[in-house]
Structure 1
Amino acid sequence: MSNSSSSRSLKLKPEYKKQVKASVTRRGFASQTHLATKLGLSRDVISRFLNGKPVDRLNAEEICDKLGWDVQEVTFFQTSINKQPKTDWGEAADSPNSFEREEEFEILDQWIVKDRCPLVLIEGMAGMGKTNLSYQLAKQIANHFDYVIWRSMDQYQSLEELLDDWLSFLYEQQEIEEVKTTEEKLKQLKQKLESDRCLLILSNIHIALKDFSFIDGYQGCEKLLKLIAKKTNKSCLLITSNVTPNTVNQLERNNQLVRRIEIKSLSVKAIQNIFSSVGSFSASDEDWVKLKEIYWGNWFVLKNVAHNIQRNFDSNITNFFEFGDYVFNGIEQFIEEQLDKLSETEKEVMYWVAIYRHPISLFELRDILSGLFNDQLLNIIKYLKSRFFLESIEEGILVQPPMIREYIIKRLINNITEEIVNNNLFWLNRFPLLLTTAQSRIR
């Protein structure tokens, strides 16, 4: 496929321009605006087509069908001019070049380029490589678009700031009507996404969420997602998040072209590639499998583990495991940042799952946390699973990622040891099952 958007565009043949224009009123439309409304397109797209300017092939087909013309008879393909897309990679330009997500890459390429999905979500635990994947993917498919812009939600205090940034980039030096309200800005964005093929990448959208809904300053994001999901086959918004917004769940149920992919554990081969990018390591086959199991194939964490083993264990992975300190300082900070975002009740659930001897059932957890109502516990478990802090290995049976369990156990041991020294038994009294049902090494 050509790099130009024009190679995918159709133009009205000059000899048919007058006749096709006249058919607008002849087919019962009061104006071009009326026709645009009926088709769900912007008036700009209608005007461009009727005046002989190139528009997207699918838009041209819709217009011709509505006006009673054979698109093959009255249009022709615009000659390719090998135009390069306009791009702005923002902070993503600092992303590492290594790439370990070939399977997910192929799926996303299919959805965005071939299926022309308007809204795609990359979801996964922090550190799994969502940002890197979105950047590497966007670079690879950029030539299928006219505009590509990568941004992270943590750069903005509100949706308005994000929209201003997008509109400034998309409209370049063009003079556009100055607007102030969110509704007006969304309307301008909609017009551009319909007239040109744009790829918008928005990372870390979970920053604007609480309990799966958008917080103050970002409520308009729901309208943004719905607006983009409505208009298919032209532009695409690719978002990354630790959790799935309620709006995306609703849109996904009602629109086959709104799609979501969950980024899961890296393969052993991918983990070996990560370590190879750091240096040469000595390890058995079992060591590589153990790395995957303990660190849940987390891209960010495994990078830290590789550097730690290289620095402190002479690149010998077997010696690292024999030493036994799987959760060291760099990883502790990463996990602590994730857990600190939880409520006290959510943390308590995490502690009980960690200290329990075996994978714990929902009913066992309910008996332990007898102070919680059933619906409260179910909502907490739903949230923790959405954040990838818990996983169901079978119906009603819960486990934690081993690295998180190791961190919690380590923190419990440190807290209780300090309490015994200071004769203050808050933690020991709070979790009395430590003495009876905990794993033997904790006891």
Structure 2
Amino acid sequence: MKRYSYRERDYAFGQVMLTLRTRLGLTQTEVAGRLGVRRRSVTDWEGGLSYPSVDHLKRFVALAVERQAWPVGCEAEEARTLWQMARQKVLLDDGWLGGLLSHTLASPAPQPAEETGVTAHAFASPFRSGPRVDWSDAPDVASFYGRERELDLLSTWILQERCRVVSVLGQGGIGKSALATKVMHQGAECFEVVIWRSLRDVPTCEALLDNCLQVLAPQALFGTSASLERRQDLLLECLRNRRVLLVYDNLESFLEEGQDCGRIRAGYEGFFQVLRRVAETEHQSCLLLTSREKPSELVPLEGNRSAVRALRLARLEAKACYQLLVEKGVAGSTSEQMRLIEAYAGNPLALKIVARTIVELFEGQIVPFLEQGEVVFGGVRALLDEQYARLSVVEQSVLLWLAILREPANLQELLAVLGASLPRTSVLEAIESLHSRALIELGLRPGIFTLQSAVMEYVTARLIVEVTDEIKQGRYSRLVEHSLELASSQEDVRQTQQRLLVIPILASLRRSYPRRTALEEHLLALLDELRSWADEAQGYGPANLLALLRELRGHLCGLDLSQLSLRGASLQGVEM
């Protein structure tokens, strides 16, 4: 089959093709069968990767006219617009189109929307308004490799079988978020509202519900009871009355670490009440989850014919891994590539990171890299340990600050927290280097930088270990150079910093100082030592020690804070 392909994706054309297929009420496989093409061809059209040939586009136009996918009276105009968008090398045959319209429109009308499985609102023109979307937090999936079977399966569960809860499971870096994003974009036109939310920063159940209800039912939320049950009722009402796709990324943030797999983290029982109600209650919406672990509450509800399904992502298929390596500039024979893929268990994030190392240090050659020693992938953490050790002091500091800030940041924001001692050019060079190593990502807006989820978790854990070791050994490096919580951060971010940094560090210290008084005395001794330093040299040290003492004691009464530089200290509401 001849296809007109091009270098850059034509997202506008792809969106129109996807919208029209949705309004036809057909799957990609069904459209492919009617047009006499492979399903992959339809996927490429909807992905903006290629255009149909003249014959196949004419068949598609005929199908759209036959099933009344366009508003009555506008068929000719819409068909000409589609033809023009498809960049055909020949003009649309007006005689053919006229004959098609006169014959088809004289025939009986197609089945009602209820029988075809397409909602009435779906018959609006695809060139006009679409669903209401709030997905700015979703990752930008510029390159997507393989996963065709998984895409088809998830689309079937969500769009055709109308599953209420669908989980995408797998290890860190395996591509859960990318797959969920792809599914979300491809199926968006089948929903009235599409919302993406990341659970990475562990928001409270109430805050998460309020955040979604502000999009779904802001008027109903205003002035209502603050009870969790009332919020749950409102959410279920919205899911029943409107077709909503709600995506929650990083669900494992709500699960206990180091405990039985799938156990709820203390304080988040309310969220899993919501989860159970969404899974068990009849409605027309879908909750799409990504997680490293399966919540134990969903296990009894899952089944092949149930409205609750789970897909566990295995390693990325070899063909897609080859494509990834080639695009990253890695050279080598098929057997050499296979050795590399096997070493990192087909983990796309791991392969992206190691590919950069191979290109930069070994001129893209796999064999010299493998000859450096045995390379065994035991998880993304082991790989990131190797990469982290290769970074400069400034590069490590930038990574740590992005993990502390928890939100996308620009250069000015990084310079503000790093301090005046680092030149602007050094920080910019560090950012450029980190991006080239695939350790930081560019945000949706120019000049914004953030961390991929797996890297965020790794760097956060690294900071906790390093600060804990420094405090036990009476050293000052990370403790002075980096803040554990910033008063200048938004309230929800500051609470996250406290929950994910201050509390874990204190918990680790308590294991080394079983007696509370011994730990308190050690922290106070460190504070006294910093008191003798110059203000600028104290950095964030005093503020960090106060944060730990506040968490340990519950107050800061009776402390002498003289001669201490409290940079970024969060003292609001603290008894002193």
User: What TM-score, normalized to structure 1?
Assistant: 0.56
Return the letter of the residue paired with 1:213. Answer: R
In the alignment, is the contact (CA less than 8 A) between 2:139 and 2:178 conserved in 1? no
Q: Which residue does the alignment assign to 2:160? A: 114
Q: Which residue does the alignment assign to 1:243? A: 293
1:80 aligns with 2:123: yes
1:258 aligns with 2:258: no
Q: Which residue does the alignment assign to 1:330? A: 384
Deviation at 1:175, TM superposition (A): 6.8
Q: What is the distance in 1 between the residues matched to 2:186 and 2:170?
A: 21
Return the letter of the residue paired with 1:154. Answer: R
Q: Which residue does the alignment assign to 1:149? A: 195
1:296 aligns with 2:341: no
Q: What is the distance in 2 between the residues matched to 1:268 and 1:322?
A: 22
In the alignment, is the contact (CA less than 8 A) between 2:122 and 2:190 conserved in 1? no
Q: Secondary structure at the match of 1:127?
A: coil
Comparing both structures, which one devotes a greater share of its residues to strand? 1
Q: Which residue does the alignment assign to 1:286? A: 335
Q: What is the distance in 2 between the residues matched to 1:175 and 1:6?
A: 32
Q: Which residue does the alignment assign to 1:273? A: 323
Q: Which residue does the alignment assign to 2:176? A: 130
1:105 aligns with 2:133: no
Deviation at 1:91, TM superposition (A): 2.0
Q: What is the distance in 1 between the residues matched to 2:296 and 2:245?
A: 23
Instruction: From the superposition, tell whether residues 79 and 278 of structure 1 become closer, same or farther in structure 2 (CA, over 3 Å).
Output: closer
Q: Secondary structure at the match of 1:148?
A: strand
Instruction: From the superposition, tell whether residues 326 and 315 of structure 1 become closer, same or farther in structure 2 (CA, over 3 Å).
Output: same
Instruction: From the superposition, tell whether residues 286 and 331 of structure 1 become closer, same or farther in structure 2 (CA, over 3 Å).
Output: farther
Q: Which residue does the alignment assign to 2:241? A: 195
Instruction: From the superposition, tell whether residues 5 and 171 of structure 1 become closer, same or farther in structure 2 (CA, over 3 Å).
Output: farther
Deviation at 1:171, TM superposition (A): 2.0
Q: Secondary structure at the match of 2:332?
A: coil
In the alignment, is the contact (CA less than 8 A) between 1:92 and 1:150 conserved in 2? yes
Q: What is the distance in 1 between the residues matched to 2:144 and 2:333?
A: 24
In the alignment, is the contact (CA less than 8 A) between 2:213 and 2:221 conserved in 1? no
In the alignment, is the contact (CA less than 8 A) between 1:3 and 1:143 conserved in 2? no
Deviation at 1:296, TM superposition (A): 0.8
Instruction: From the superposition, tell whether residues 125 and 79 of structure 1 become closer, same or farther in structure 2 (CA, over 3 Å).
Output: closer
Q: What is the distance in 1 between the residues matched to 2:171 and 2:24?
A: 39
1:310 aligns with 2:356: no
Deviation at 1:311, TM superposition (A): 0.5
Which gives a bigger RCO, structure 1 or 2 (Cα 8 Å, sep 6+)?
1
Equivalent positions of 1:214-253 (< 5 A) are: 214-232=264-282, 234-253=284-303
Q: Secondary structure at the match of 1:240?
A: strand
What is the aligned-residue RMSD (CA, Å)? 3.3
Q: Which residue does the alignment assign to 2:537? A: none
In the alignment, is the contact (CA less than 8 A) between 1:209 and 1:245 conserved in 2? yes
Q: Secondary structure at the match of 1:91?
A: coil
Deviation at 1:79, TM superposition (A): 8.0
- Unaligned segments of structure 1, at least 5 residues: 9-70, 342-443
Alignment deviations for residues 62-102 of structure 1 (CA, whole Å, 9 cap, x no partner): xxxxxxxxx99xxx966833441011113214444333322
Alignment deviations for residues 196-242 of structure 1 (CA, whole Å, 9 cap, x no partner): 10000001101111231221231112221221112346100000111
In the alignment, is the contact (CA less than 8 A) between 1:5 and 1:145 conserved in 2? no
- Unaligned segments of structure 2, at least 5 residues: 1-17, 26-113, 377-381, 389-453, 463-576
